A and B are shown apart, each in its own frame.
Chain A
Amino acid sequence: MEISVQEFKHCDLVAIKGRVDSATAPQLAQTLEKANENGKYKLVMDMAALEYMSSAGFRALLAAQRNCKKYNRGEVVLANVPDRIREALELAGFTELFKTFDDTLTAVGHF
């Protein structure tokens, strides 16, 4: 898994590449916590290059969503969610907890 963070005026774009499982999810969680520590609570997760995500990754996203939404200071939104991952998120009842966008431009523009 590789993560890159790009700062925009109104949000940060977090691109996740590769596979997120129990081995790599802590790195994702740390990246999102660090963004929060730096006062960044509006986060777009770009999943275009994401190949796989287990519930360990869902857990990291949920923790970030909780922290970002506190005091209405922001939120985590998802962009370019691959079909397989969207189906698993739906199965887990997670799609109701995150706004999803078909492309990063619209997602970034949401903020």
Chain B
Amino acid sequence: MQSAQFIAKFEFLDEIREFVGDIARNAGFGSKEVYNIQLAADEAASNIIEHAYEGVSNGMLEVSCGVKDGAITIIMVDHGESFDPSAIPMPDLKADLSERKIGGLGIFLMRKLMDEVHYETKNRSNVLTMIKRKR
């Protein structure tokens, strides 16, 4: 498992995507899977920056990533406000244009793109774990 600390700002999303993308690619994930893993990591980190660290300018985000037995695990730890993602309603994908809500889309994509998504809060830290198995 490799770990890296990132400043919790949108400007560092590129680096976060590269960090998990390199590990996935080196472990033999295909280009489509690598893209989807990067997208899930981006959505997760974007949510943390936007919600957990709302109004906070010096937040840090620790990202750990590793591959074992053909499954990639991404763990993101932040020290911002905890939020319960299960409290966010799933977007209605059948709603027409005027009714379409955009909130919750990031979490929806994370769940669709990864095999497992877990959240927990411990010792005043929020821990997000995402797992995807190689197809």
Residues of A within 8 A of B (CB): 19, 21-23, 52, 54-56, 58-59, 62, 65-66, 69, 83-84, 87-88, 91-93, 97
Does B83 reach chain A (CB closer than 8 Å)? no
Does B118 reach chain A (CB closer than 8 Å)? no
Does B22 reach chain A (CB closer than 8 Å)? no
Cβ of A59 and Cβ of B46 under 8 Å apart? no
> Residues of B contacting A97 with CB < 8 Å?
97, 100
With both chains docked as a complex, state the minimum distance between the C-beta of B102 and any C-beta of chain A, in angstroms: 5
Residues of B within 8 A of A (CB): 9-11, 13-14, 17, 31-32, 35-36, 38-39, 42-43, 46, 49-50, 91, 93-94, 97-98, 100, 102, 105-106, 108-109, 112-113
Q: How many residue pairs at the A-B interface have CB separations less than 8 Å? A: 68
Cβ of A21 and Cβ of B10 under 8 Å apart? yes
A84 to B30, CA, bound (A): 12
Cβ of B97 and Cβ of A54 under 8 Å apart? no
Cβ of B94 and Cβ of A69 under 8 Å apart? no
